[in-house]
A and B are shown apart, each in its own frame.
Chain A
Amino acid sequence: MLELLLIIPAVTALICLLLKDRRQVEWASSIGSLALLALSTYTSYEVVTSGAKDEGMLYMDGLSAFMLMLVAIVSLATSLYSIGYMGRELDEGRFEASRFRYYYALLHGFIMTMVLVCLSDNLGIMWIAIEATTLASAFLVSFYNNENSLEAAWKYVIICSVGITLALLGTILLYASSIQQVGEAGGSLEWSSLLGMADQLDPTLLRISFILVLVGYGTKVGLAPMHTWLPDAHSQAPTPISALLSGVLLNCAMYAILRYHMISSAALGPGFSGGLLVLFGIFSMAIAAAFIILSRDFKRLLAYSSIEHMGVIALGFGIGGSLGIIGSLLQMINHALTKSALFFGAGQVYARVKTRTMEEIKGLSKTMPITSALWFAAFLAIVGCPPFGIFVSELVILMAGLQAGELLAVSIYLILLAIIFAAMLLHASRMIFGEPTKVVEKREGDIAVVMMLVVLLAGVLILGLYLPQGLNDMLEGIAHLFPGGGA
């Protein structure tokens, strides 16, 4: 049953590779994403109501279901947006027609690897899946094959591979710690069993293992100081891919860290791993704040904003407790939706003004009123303006921090949030308000894209105003999975 979730995107990728006609490929892609979303919803519902599913190598509990839904929703949005965006890029000759189906095939292959990350029970398979996401997305990042995208893709592959290698060492150490205590036959990489025997694991090995995993997978999450590949890769990739990378891939890597965090908390108490997460979270926010102020390219700006939000999420999980965990989970959803909206809008803007340098862009409200209004709303959402959802999730994390007594972390958190608030809105308003520098005709972007932006922003808005009971229960269930998260 769970394998179907992997088979659907795999088959979609294969079909896209074999078809020749552009329309057919686009249809195949859309149907595949819809099917994935449908099946994910069904299985997640089952898991939330009847409990975790353990099918050998594949395992799905509340947290996996949550991540899976996130992957499915954003993938659907991305594949739909790709139709319009890549279609236009093809018409303008930015790449050869023969590579069109490679894009969709790689896209769905990439989606499959992310689903595999969410469903793995065996930590070794999870590692393989994460390495596979890097490899699958490498060609997507370098899709335009020019100097900049090659540089970005090379940095991406090399830095992430180094990080993941360190994470593999951490995985090996964890495996060794399970053998030390339990003996040869008891050694296991199955997450569910490891959680069960957490108190028997060797503490020294476990500590070193977690540090390595945090640094290693943290590279893929984009935590500073391992983040250097992120602005390049996310800004050079085609816009729909940037949305997928920022919204989902970073979260998947975070998910991997969380699995280790859970084991570490069960064995050593939440203080050790939580403290490290808080540290990296704050540091990432600080670095992101600095670069957001200095940004000149709007896609890089959005990439640094992703780093900042992953820092917030790490902070929330690090603080822990039921509030912290729920706050971070909400932040994951809100960030994914908002960042996708921002990237989609950015794609529209770029299509119109043909430049990514923010200094050169002015007066978008005169050139594309509705789209720029929605884009500005998305900016408001991402910096944490009420009534949008990010305000709520950041507030929850703030409350968690106060409750846990982490006053220093909380104060730095607030200061950085304020700085980023100011900087991003400054950049955004410079681009949107004022008089256009060049004479560009007044025309909206694609209607389809406008609709998508409305849907995404509406989602974030709803989450900011009201938390559905079903979602609330699901989140609380997940929080209980974390040792020490039941409070």
Chain B
Amino acid sequence: MADYLLALVQTAVLLALAPLLTGIIRKLKAWMQSRRGPPIFQPYLDLAKLMRKGSVVSQDASWLTSLTPYVCLASMVVAALLVPAFVTESFGFLGDLIVLVYLFAMARFFMALAALDAGSTFGGMGSSREMLVSSLIEPAILLSFFTVALLTGTTSLVSVTSLLATSGASLIGPALLLAFAAFFIAILAENARIPIDNPSTHLELTMIHEAMLLEYSGKDLALMEYSSMVKLTLFITIAWSAFLPWGVATQVTAPDLALGVIIFLVKLLALALVIAIIESSMAKLRLFRLPNLLTGAFILAFLAVMSYFVL
């Protein structure tokens, strides 16, 4: 019982931290571009503002458009329940790594459909591009998950994390590192980060994710934005927990927990910094070059699996 309480607290922390993480990334980017940037708590204020406003929905839209924000939010919350962040406890009985992939897929599916629903060309364009990106990157995600599953013998995320954390350095090898590299590219791809997509553009030539959100306003928009922020936080958390989880609390004792929380926050910040650096130093790839990068990620994951079998 105490375990589930702890897991619930963990989920709450994740959900609460999500907008803060986005704010920190924006701040870091601003600093690197020699600007002051918005305050790190700005996303909270933005979400609050949006929640107060009413939504305007297109006349041609169906029930899908109203349903989608809730579906997205729901899948993100359920996913947050499954992911161990600073302690190896979660509602893991609900699902494993594969279920995680499908939860994210469900959110993306509804988002893409809803974008088509309004009948605007931007939405359709965003949907098709999003589907291109995800169809190329999902095999990479699955293969990198398979790698850790092969290494640890299980697909339950909690078991993966605890096994990796307690096994010392023996499981570190080319397989794990290659899988991590592939998954990192997946973080960028799935969360609409440069070099795959620009999260702050509204130019028709360049948007993918934003195009799908164009028709939302008010509360719906708040929920969609919040889901994206949670998705980013979850991806970063999974990257650490599934591949390099050292520092996570494997036992429920006060010092372990404290250490786990601190290390978790440091890890979040570290990857946030890396993402900010990448976003500031690279340009977005042109669309026809995307398959090059994404196939590269797939090959990295493939090499990870191969390294497991061969070496």
In the complex, A touching B (Cβ < 8 A) = no
Interface residues of B (CB under 8 A from A): none
